[in-house]
A and B are shown apart, each in its own frame.
Chain A
Amino acid sequence: MADLQQSFVRNRLLRALSPENFALLQPHLERVEAPFRRVLITPNEPVGTLFFPETGYGSVVADGSAGRVEVGLIGSEGLIGAIPVLLASDRTPHQSMVQHAGEMLSIPAGALTEAVAQSDGLRTLLLRYVHALSIQTAATAYSNATYTTEIRLARWLLMCHDRLEGDGIAITHEFLSLMLGVQRGGVTLALQTLEGNGLIKAQRGRITIRDRESLIATADGSYGGPEAEYVRLIEGA
């Protein structure tokens, strides 16, 4: 993509690269639309393409006999497909799909691994991102094992809010129940609690964040750790 300049890119990983490392990837990046529910990575098949989200975000989903549960959330801070490809596996048992429509910069897996082989700096930054994503996944496991549905929902809404421009999240209760691995009725109950406390407004197919600070307080420490670790690892703050 000849006209793509680093200063106009929104993806935080691409922005964190040195100009030389960005130049290694730039010729291979292609701007693509990512519609809701589009499957980006198919389980147990070779990963041909990775995606740097610019807007919107994707979910990494684990599938089993008891249903589907989200195990990763990747927006403009990340790279969808990073874990298998950078860790030298050509495939993964997990699906990645678009959860909130947006735009992404795609790159062929071969072009990415070639660029990584040429630059220690690029490899280091992307492996640090893989580490940051594994911290997020561990925090999700901890949340799922210990916290109430209200707290888990608050954490999840904050993570989505971080990856969107505005305050509105387009999502149904049905989809939310898949993401959190709880019954739809449980989502409805938890949303009613958060709404009753003035933290969100829940409309059909849409949740609006009204009081982010109180939502962080409700999340009770389950939100913020992995986010701070990302900043430390990638943006050096």
Chain B
Amino acid sequence: MPRYFFSIRHRPGTRGLAIDEEGDELPDLNAAREYALDVAKDMIARHRTDMIRDWFDCSFEITDEAGRHVLTVPFSDTVPEEDEEQLG
């Protein structure tokens, strides 16, 4: 299984990226996105910190084993858009 790395962008600049050096093995990019959304939900609900002003300004910057950026998952994606919600 490929390994994906889930760094957290929490503000602009180099100090605004918390780099994940360990990563997780997941079947594919779609699974990586689902995993990122699950983790984001849990962090928004349970992670107490004075460092993050607004979780919805944060995103997961997902990279692959070669260090290539493969996907950005904004924490705001954990909440469906209003019209999506109505459709669902």
Contact = CB atoms under 8 A, between A and B. Distances in A.
Interface residues of A, number: 20
Interface residues of B, number: 21
B50 A182 contact: no
Contacts of B21: 173, 204
Interface string A147-179: 111100000000000000000000011100000
A44 interface: no
B42 interface: yes
Interface in B29-84: 39, 42-43, 46-52, 60
B19 interface: yes
A188 B6 CA distance: 10
Of the listed residues A150, A185, A189, A192, the one surrounded by the most CB atoms of chain B closer than 10 A to its CB is: A185
B10 A185 contact: no
A196 B48 CA distance: 18
Contacts of A17: none
Contacts of A185: 6, 8, 18, 20, 39, 43, 60
B8 A149 contact: no
B22 A174 contact: yes
Given A183-B42, A204-B21, A188 B8 contact: yes
A187 to B, nearest CB: 9
Nearest to B19: A188
A190 interface: yes
Given A183-B39, A183-B42, A183-B43, A188 B48 contact: no
Interface of A: 147-150, 172-174, 182-186, 188-193, 196, 204
Given A150-B50, A173-B22, 16 more contacts: A148-B49, A148-B50, A149-B48, A150-B49, A150-B51, A173-B20, A183-B43, A185-B6, A185-B39, A186-B47, A186-B49, A188-B8, A189-B49, A190-B51, A191-B18, A193-B51
Interface of B: 6-8, 10, 15, 18-22, 39, 42-43, 46-52, 60
24 contacts: A147-B48, A148-B48, A148-B50, A149-B48, A150-B50, A150-B51, A174-B22, A183-B42, A183-B43, A184-B6, A184-B20, A185-B6, A185-B8, A185-B18, A186-B43, A186-B47, A188-B18, A188-B19, A189-B10, A189-B47, A189-B52, A190-B49, A192-B18, A193-B49
